[in-house]
Structure 1
Amino acid sequence: MQSIAIGKGPCVPFKEGATEFAPARERLRYWESYTASELVGLRCSTYAEEGLNARQRNFDLGALRIADIVGNEHVVERTLPIVRRQPKNSLFACLLLEGEAFFYQSGRCDLVHRGDLIIYSTAKPYLYGFTRPMRQLMIDVKADELFESGEDISRASLLKIDGSLHAGQLLTQPLRDKIIGFIDNPLAETAPALHEEIRARLRMLLRPSAHDAPRGDDVNALRLLRAERFIAEHLGSRELDAEAVASHVAMSLRNLNRMFEKYERSVTQWIWQERLALAQRKLADAAHASRSIGDIALECGFSTQAHFAREFKQRYRLTPTQYRETPVNARLYDGSENSRSK
């Protein structure tokens, strides 16, 4: 197997593996072998006509490893026989920088989009498929770095941080920036601080009530994430209002509104903004072209089509009918396809 060890003196050494190092017919076997040596045992397959094209860099920080993985569409699977044959007691935290994917483990299947972070156990079988060219940052951390001695890591549930949510970005962006900065300039003197930062952030995400309490800004980001996720999952419900969100996150409405000031919105304003954004996406989606505007309005939580039409025109400067009839390139030009306020 070919790999390259680079970086001496003040830099952390890293290894690099790439399918271009192997003959075309041996690429899948090469990738499986290299990944087993640096990360975890798995099986790989691809339906790409050109075969698998993939590359990864691997940095070893002791109890924690980092991998930067780039490739075309492919699927990796850690089956039960592989789990038994090549056991590994770790958690993987994967931040998807480019592409789209799906992840299946323990009867749960999640779509993974650009910017999403997923955390899962390597002690249980899983399937991870990339449907287009991808790049992801992977953190491989030993279980005893995050869990108390004796805890059964196999019971750890898949955790997904939605990168489309503002609070999700607040939680993942610092991790992304620090890891990319290190990969670009892997100075040995910065490795201990990066190791501790990653460990603390993952413990905060996985065990927010643990004794090493997260910082105040992280606590607020976690609460905002719970609030945003609850809103996103209940936009079509007539029962969704600011009081329901406050109750879900166990906060007073006054304090919750203070947290949403970060977005220059009240909770109520945020709910209606997200309902409009959801309706806008449905109107732009060809899959909903045969549905009436009234049906879409009701599905997105509006009580009447008139109320929806009035709010939609105020927000997007077009009536719903006009928007639906507007060519896609015109929507992109005036910014209405990407109109979520920051």
Structure 2
Amino acid sequence: MQTIFSTAAFRGKDRFRLWQDFVQERVGPIEQAHLSAEPFDGLVEALDVGPLRLTRVIESAVQSRVTPATLRRRDEPGSLFVLIQQAGVSMSAQDDREAVQRTGDITVLGGRPNLHVAGRGDAMLVLEVPRERLEVMLGSSRLFTALTIEGNRPATALATAFIRDLVRLGGQLDPDCAARMATIATDLVIASIADRLARDVPGPLHGTVVVQRAKAYIEAHLGDPTLDPRRLAEAIGVSLRRLQELFHAQGHHISDWIWQRRLEVAAERLTDPGTRHLTIGTVAYGCGFTSAAHFSRRFRARYATTPREHREAAGQPAS
């Protein structure tokens, strides 16, 4: 990672003021307070891996508060911030929840008023992730912001181990590979959050979590042409009628969601330089379509263009 700001070269009394100026410029309006009488120390390192921005923040005894007033002075918040604790202990609060993070733990903040308090010697790796990407898979971010996602859980440990290696090696990846690795990192974070949501869920939220588990299963099995609502319900462990009710409560039909995700993933693969070697038919079969004609018909109905024209418009070979 590349160091983009350090207080080491400044006098002690100027350090926190300069730190505040830097944070305002990089993150946006935010209220900060130094909670210690000792000199402030701060360091920021950054690395972009494809579309994924990773930032390591080392700061001592700082309270950072995003308020309604500071939010109004920001651009529309399109991102959520995934915080991975690397050293020290910190506390976060949002949406009437508080999370205490120790080394290896994850929490998510962003989009609405929130509070983060870093202890002395606090080190945090921050991933900036599109809010829409997380909410498509997990539901409203109000379900999982400021939720402690423990680092000793297997799903969390897998996610953080991959991201550590991504930080170490990400600068060596070519652009196409970097984009794919960024997607994997985001998916692993989603899996660790989903694992946490599946435990100790309050009654009113249980239906939402079941739907998110079903959506995660769909993502993992899009290439299976036999995947249908009945098989999905069996895999999730609920009745088909109950699963249909839960999807309807969120404004979806199960079959429509499966076909929507198949088409969206196919459209992404058709324009991905990393899959340019795949024929259109191979892309179609890999997304669960049983024939090229069926794929073409559904694709045109959704996107008002053919798969070939979609690929050619992105500058990819139309094979």
Quick check: 1:39 aligned with 2:27? yes
Map residues 1-20 of structure 1 onto 2, 5 A cutoff.
Answer: 14=2, 16-20=4-8
Amino acid of the residue matched to residue 158 of structure 1? A
Quick check: 1:172 aligned with 2:182? no
C-alpha distance in 1, partners of 2:11/2:108? 33
Aligned to 2:307: none
- In the superposition, relative to structure 1, how do residues 211 and 171 fare at CA in structure 2: closer, same or farther (>3 Å)? same
C-alpha distance in 2, partners of 1:60/1:162? 26
Q: How does the TM-score come out when normalised to structure 1?
A: 0.51
- Decide whether the 8 Å contact of 2:82 with 2:128 is kept in 1: yes
- Decide whether the 8 Å contact of 1:100 with 1:114 is kept in 2: yes
Of 69, 89, 92, 1:103 maps to 92
Map residues 281-292 of structure 1 onto 2, 5 A cutoff.
Answer: none
C-alpha distance in 1, partners of 2:99/2:21? 27
Q: What SS class does the counterpart of residue 14 from structure 2 fall into?
A: helix
Of 48, 54, 70, 1:82 maps to 70
Any unmatched runs of 5+ in structure 2? 195-211, 222-235, 239-319
Q: What SS class does the counterpart of residue 102 from structure 1 fall into?
A: strand
Deviation at 1:117, TM superposition (A): 0.6
Aligned to 2:184: 197
- Decide whether the 8 Å contact of 1:28 with 1:44 is kept in 2: no
Aligned to 1:279: none
Q: How does the TM-score come out when normalised to structure 2?
A: 0.54
Amino acid of the residue matched to residue 56 of structure 2? D
Aligned to 2:44: 56
Quick check: 1:210 aligned with 2:215? yes
C-alpha distance in 2, partners of 1:37/1:166? 36
After the TM superposition, which segments of 4 or more aligned residues of structure 1 sit over 6 Å from their partners? none
- Decide whether the 8 Å contact of 2:86 with 2:125 is kept in 1: yes
- Decide whether the 8 Å contact of 1:59 with 1:67 is kept in 2: yes
Amino acid of the residue matched to residue 84 of structure 2? L
Of 24, 30, 37, 2:18 maps to 30
Deviation at 1:52, TM superposition (A): 1.8
- Decide whether the 8 Å contact of 1:38 with 1:58 is kept in 2: no
- Cα deviation code 1:209-228 (max 9, x no counterpart): 32575669xxxxxxxxxxxx
Aligned to 1:182: 169
Q: Percent identity?
A: 16
- In the superposition, relative to structure 1, how do residues 169 and 211 fare at CA in structure 2: closer, same or farther (>3 Å)? closer
- Decide whether the 8 Å contact of 2:90 with 2:116 is kept in 1: yes
C-alpha distance in 2, partners of 1:174/1:64? 17
Aligned to 1:73: 61
C-alpha distance in 1, partners of 2:157/2:220? 13
Deviation at 1:22, TM superposition (A): 4.3
Amino acid of the residue matched to residue 91 of structure 1? L
Deviation at 1:166, TM superposition (A): 4.0
C-alpha distance in 1, partners of 2:220/2:158? 12
Q: What SS class does the counterpart of residue 148 from structure 2 fall into?
A: strand
Aligned to 2:253: none
Higher relative contact order (CA 8 A, sep 6+): 2
Amino acid of the residue matched to residue 210 of structure 1? K
Deviation at 1:100, TM superposition (A): 0.7
Amino acid of the residue matched to residue 115 of structure 1? G
C-alpha distance in 1, partners of 2:125/2:105? 11
Deviation at 1:195, TM superposition (A): 0.9
Deviation at 1:91, TM superposition (A): 0.8
- Cα deviation code 1:84-109 (max 9, x no counterpart): 11142211111101001111112212
Map residues 70-149 of structure 1 onto 2, 5 A cutoff.
Answer: 70-87=58-75, 88-120=77-109, 122-148=110-136
C-alpha distance in 2, partners of 1:15/1:170? 26
C-alpha distance in 2, partners of 1:40/1:154? 22
- In the superposition, relative to structure 1, how do residues 169 and 152 fare at CA in structure 2: closer, same or farther (>3 Å)? closer
- In the superposition, relative to structure 1, how do residues 162 and 152 fare at CA in structure 2: closer, same or farther (>3 Å)? closer
- Cα deviation code 1:267-295 (max 9, x no counterpart): xxxxxxxxxxxxxxxxxxxxxxxxxxxxx
- Decide whether the 8 Å contact of 1:102 with 1:112 is kept in 2: yes
- Decide whether the 8 Å contact of 1:89 with 1:153 is kept in 2: no
How many residue pairs align between the two structures? 203
